[in-house]
Amino acid sequence: MEAKPCRYSLAVKTSHVLPPDTNAHGTLFGGKLVAHIDDVAAIAAVRHARKPVVTASMDSVDFLAPVREGDSVCVEAFVTWTHQTSMEVFAKVVTEDLLTGARKVCTTAFLTFVALGEDGRPDVVPPVYPESEHEKKLHEQAAERAAHRKQRRKQSKEFAEEFGTDYPWNR
């Protein structure tokens, strides 16, 4: 499989934040922002793999700045690293006060997607290579993030087994 540059997978989406998207404080619901991120990151992953994908994980999402009603949010995402069947996607979200033009990065996140073959099972993806300095930095640090994700996933499975499907008061 021929390697592709990170920039080939770039996906960008800008959305206007309207009243139904906001909480009682007039700021964007965190879940709405996460949905925007997952949507755009999935497009980037499909662009890279040219196969259907599923979200395998989303690293922590830190809300760095509020997104207010009337603002816009611009989500940019691209594949930073690949393994056999998985891809790490970096997403950056910029909020803009459309009346003043003031812009802030309101969140960043890393997501992992798995490509699916025609049989619905994980399928191989092409390698990716960085070109810009930012891409190179993200690419160089990706293996460390992947190892951390693997450990976190192991802990999640242990919690799932320990706590099971019953509520604590039903045990």
Q: Spell out the per-residue pLDDT of the chain, length 171, in tens.
A: 899 999 999 999 999 999 999 999 999 999 999 999 999 999 999 999 999 999 999 998 889 999 999 999 999 999 999 999 999 999 999 999 999 999 999 999 999 999 999 999 999 999 999 999 999 999 999 999 999 999 999 999 999 999 888 887 665
Nearest to 114 by CA among 49, 35, 36: 49
Would you state the pLDDT for residue 21?
97
Sign, CA torsion 116/121/123/128: positive
- Taking only Cα atoms into account, the Rg of the chain, rounded to an integer number of angstroms, comes to 18
Would you state the pLDDT for residue 111?
98
Model-level pTM? 0.93
- Structural domains of the chain ordered from first start: 4-163 (3.10.129.10)
User: Residues, the chain, total?
Assistant: 171
